A and B are shown apart, each in its own frame.
Chain A
């Protein structure tokens, strides 16, 4: 019997039909024992042609596809749904964005790192061609991992309850990473594992309004949860000149409805402004 850990690849789709052909082909080309690999997709925008496209492409994968019965339920909730389907018997989850193409050896390298670093709960692939603009130590240890291409130890994911479903989009990965750190786990980047990610910056003409809005909501949420009211006030002051008043109002209103408790726990890896460069990109700070 193959000793490779079982991996459930999960992708939350939202108006993603244009990305599917290359993503599916990239998954077909992944070097990994086929009987240890299962792909699940949840479509948050049913009726957008994704189902028909997948049927037409008929990828050579053990693939499950599901339309979200409640429409767009958000990124974190979608992944939690797929993780529940994977069940406790799955060793590892590979979270992938629809606009990615993993290199052929990406999964092998991520799994190898997970094996050699048993305290690492999250192992992030290096995004390509634009590397995710955040810092990590020489051994790959990092404050948080992006969920665009992320290997997650399923046991830890379940222990932590997965993503916080109050966050609709953006920053749920930072939150999960920080909860990992607080629970005594480690977050790492594996630079030899590479994955194409067509980021907002490299997608011509992409509408960034959703990213700006949800990024602000997430920024407020993280500050409230990990640093308390003064950090929220600082963030609000910083965002005031950076976004249109209407967007700021909407973000604040959304935040009020999901305002979390502030944790008393701290950790050296949890910083109010984790990476200047990333913060500038994501939150205009």
Chain B
């Protein structure tokens, strides 16, 4: 059944990097001759003419669409891409760029069209194609619920005949004598596609989302990829695709250190140098004003010159006070993302790629936390030697550890720049331990934090050695009490039934009533204030319904305060 008129008449914002049109637009140079196969209403072509000075020729099966494209001033032809001899139709012309935007998946023989397109390329030309990714988690969740429901447009467009993942695209290109010169991705978060914006299919409990993300995410880096946008060039030796990371963003790693820890700092900095994420800067914050140690740090950085950009800050004062150093580093950070690292701890090479990917994919997240490995060991002159390793947190309840003071590992969290600017990411300078927990807990009050179970960092402790001068058990207890007190206004515990009532309110659209429901819940449960408030968040995570509830909770709080 053909799509109804207007189905593919999309608005085009060429400046939006997270749309296929935005990516395609970026891959077409000024003044190019462009052939748009499946041009629909010519919307993209018109933008290319206006903004890039391109000459654009379109071909589409839909007569109304072609008429609309012509109205926009394009040369457009009505033709069936499955059967038409394009070379003859287009008068044997050749093109710098051939756009095949969300077309191949509609064809019985997509490779036939690609092969034709190759013959229409000018010297140095390339094909730019956007193709839906069938391994998006929303599709997987639908299958998990024993459903496969087509929709008017999108991943499961009812006229799709072919379904692709990136390896499938690569294979198709190869068979047509093409190599992938670049691969970029348009991402949508879980439940963010048109599939789940409709009625969720029955048989797929919401909690399955997290389970599925965990299981499938281990082997599929494209769970949140909505479309792959590939630039394909003819010929050449088989090569690795030049995968372009999606809007990677710059990262600052704040590494705090103190005198006597140069070997530990060396390991931390090499781990930063090894990050596969592009554009990383290490901000080394030296606690205390020991000139000899600062000189040692400078000498160390010469060994890493060119491997990673390093800036050194010196924060005078007691070397054991970490919070002022953390905050000085945060103040100096300029990256899109920021993370904190103690000297001696190390990041795994994919730390930043995974967490920046999560933050990029879901703009609602303020921070993302990776799993981590706790290494106990000894220090030798050449460095740390691990004796035991323990993976934490467990994949079944990652936030248990993240949000409890004894388990937090601030070095496995990545924060968003915007939250720094808004002053939401600050360590509590009144405490002498658990500084990074104070920071995380403050942020968690009203903001989304994602926890990735996969270990992405190593937290290293040397038996018999305190991590800081004040890192005693007594200091930790004092700090924990102070931090809990400073966030006491949030101490609410909801039962599961209340939670469900709350969710029901959200789902029914009774948002206005929520403030009353919340107030009642708070009154009823005031007696339970001893329990950490953040258990709410954990409970919500476990049910997989945290987002709407959290939004309502914020709204309710805003009304109460307002």
Which chain A positions have C-beta within 8 A of B349?
Answer: 129, 196, 198, 202-203
Shortest Cβ gap from A284 to chain B (Å): 13
Nearest residue in A to B457 (C-beta to C-beta)? A129
Query: In the complex, what distance in Å separates the CA atom of A250 from the CA atom of B284?
Result: 50
B221 adjacent to A45 (CB under 8 Å): no
B237 adjacent to A47 (CB under 8 Å): yes
Query: In the complex, what distance in Å separates the CA atom of A207 from the CA atom of B238?
Result: 16
Query: In the complex, what distance in Å separates the CA atom of A128 from the CA atom of B347?
Result: 10
B270 adjacent to A205 (CB under 8 Å): no
CB-contact partner of A29 in B219, B276, B303, under 8 A = B303
A/B pair count, beta carbons within 8 Å = 90
Shortest Cβ gap from B308 to chain A (Å): 9
Task: Please name the 3 residue pairs, one residue from A and one from B, whose CB atoms are nearest each other, closest first.
Answer: A205-B221, A15-B240, A192-B382
A204 adjacent to B354 (CB under 8 Å): yes
CB-contact partner of A203 in B222, B270, B350, B386, under 8 A = B350
A101 adjacent to B303 (CB under 8 Å): no
B221 adjacent to A204 (CB under 8 Å): yes
Q: From residue 20 to 36 of chain A, which have CB atoms closer than 8 A to chain B?
A: 22, 25-26, 28-29
Query: In the complex, what distance in Å separates the CA atom of A29 from the CA atom of B303?
Result: 6
Shortest Cβ gap from A200 to chain B (Å): 10
Shortest Cβ gap from B218 to chain A (Å): 10
Which chain B positions have C-beta within 8 A of A196?
Answer: 270-271, 273-274, 349
Instruction: Indicate if B423 sits at the interface (CB-CB under 8 A).
Output: no
Which chain B positions have C-beta within 8 A of A194?
Answer: 270, 382-383
Instruction: Indicate if A275 sits at the interface (CB-CB under 8 A).
Output: no
A191 adjacent to B380 (CB under 8 Å): yes
Which chain A positions have C-beta within 8 A of B458?
Answer: 129
Total contacting residues, chain B, CB less than 8 A: 37
Q: From residue 209 to 268 of chain B, which have CB atoms closer than 8 A to chain A?
A: 219, 221-222, 236-240, 242, 266-267
Are A198 and B237 also in contact (CB < 8 A) when A22-B307, A129-B458 are?
no
Q: From residue 173 to 194 of chain A, which have CB atoms closer than 8 A to chain B?
A: 191-192, 194
Instruction: Indicate if B558 sits at the interface (CB-CB under 8 A).
Output: no
CB-contact partner of B383 in A192, A204, A208, under 8 A = A192
Identify which of A129, A203, A205 gathers the most chain B CB atoms within 10 Å of its CB.
Answer: A129
Shortest Cβ gap from A208 to chain B (Å): 8
Q: Scoring B residues 262 to 306 as 1 if CB is less than 8 Å from chain A, else 0, what string do you get?
A: 000011001101101000000000000000000000000001111
Are A29 and B305 also in contact (CB < 8 A) when A101-B273, A204-B353 are?
yes
Q: Which residues of A contact B (CB under 8 A)?
A: 15, 17-18, 22, 25-26, 28-29, 45-49, 71, 101, 103-104, 109, 128-131, 191-192, 194, 196, 198, 202-205, 207-208
Query: In the complex, what distance in Å separates the CA atom of A205 from the CA atom of B243?
Result: 11
Shortest Cβ gap from B6 to chain A (Å): 37
A129 adjacent to B271 (CB under 8 Å): yes
Shortest Cβ gap from B417 to chain A (Å): 21
Which chain A positions have C-beta within 8 A of B267?
Answer: 128-129
B273 adjacent to A22 (CB under 8 Å): yes
B239 adjacent to A49 (CB under 8 Å): yes
A192 adjacent to B380 (CB under 8 Å): yes
Which chain A positions have C-beta within 8 A of B236?
Answer: 47
Instruction: Indicate if B357 sits at the interface (CB-CB under 8 A).
Output: yes
Which chain B positions have C-beta within 8 A of A131?
Answer: 386
Query: In the complex, what distance in Å separates the CA atom of A205 from the CA atom of B383?
Result: 30
B240 adjacent to A17 (CB under 8 Å): yes
A101 adjacent to B307 (CB under 8 Å): yes
Identify which of A48, A196, A202 gathers the most chain B CB atoms within 10 Å of its CB.
Answer: A202
Shortest Cβ gap from B169 to chain A (Å): 14
Instruction: Indicate if B446 sits at the interface (CB-CB under 8 A).
Output: no
- Known: A103-B303, A204-B353; 14 extra A-B contacts, CB below 8 A, are A15-B239, A22-B273, A26-B307, A29-B305, A104-B303, A128-B346, A129-B267, A131-B386, A191-B380, A192-B381, A196-B271, A203-B349, A204-B221, A204-B350
Shortest Cβ gap from A65 to chain B (Å): 16
Nearest residue in A to B353 (C-beta to C-beta)? A204
Nearest residue in A to B237 (C-beta to C-beta)? A47
Shortest Cβ gap from A280 to chain B (Å): 14
Identify which of B236, B240, B346, B380 gathers the most chain A CB atoms within 10 Å of its CB.
Answer: B240
A28 adjacent to B353 (CB under 8 Å): no
Which chain B positions have C-beta within 8 A of A101?
Answer: 270, 273-274, 307
Instruction: Indicate if B163 sits at the interface (CB-CB under 8 A).
Output: no
Query: In the complex, what distance in Å separates the CA atom of A159 from the CA atom of B524?
Result: 81
CB-contact partner of A129 in B307, B347, B357, under 8 A = B347
Are A45 and B307 also in contact (CB < 8 A) when A103-B270, A191-B385 are?
no
B383 adjacent to A48 (CB under 8 Å): no
Which chain A positions have C-beta within 8 A of B380?
Answer: 191-192
List 28 A-B pairs, Cβ < 8 Å: A15-B240, A18-B240, A22-B307, A25-B306, A29-B303, A29-B304, A29-B305, A47-B236, A47-B239, A101-B273, A101-B274, A103-B303, A104-B303, A128-B267, A128-B270, A128-B274, A128-B346, A129-B270, A129-B347, A130-B348, A196-B273, A196-B349, A202-B349, A203-B276, A203-B349, A203-B350, A204-B357, A205-B222
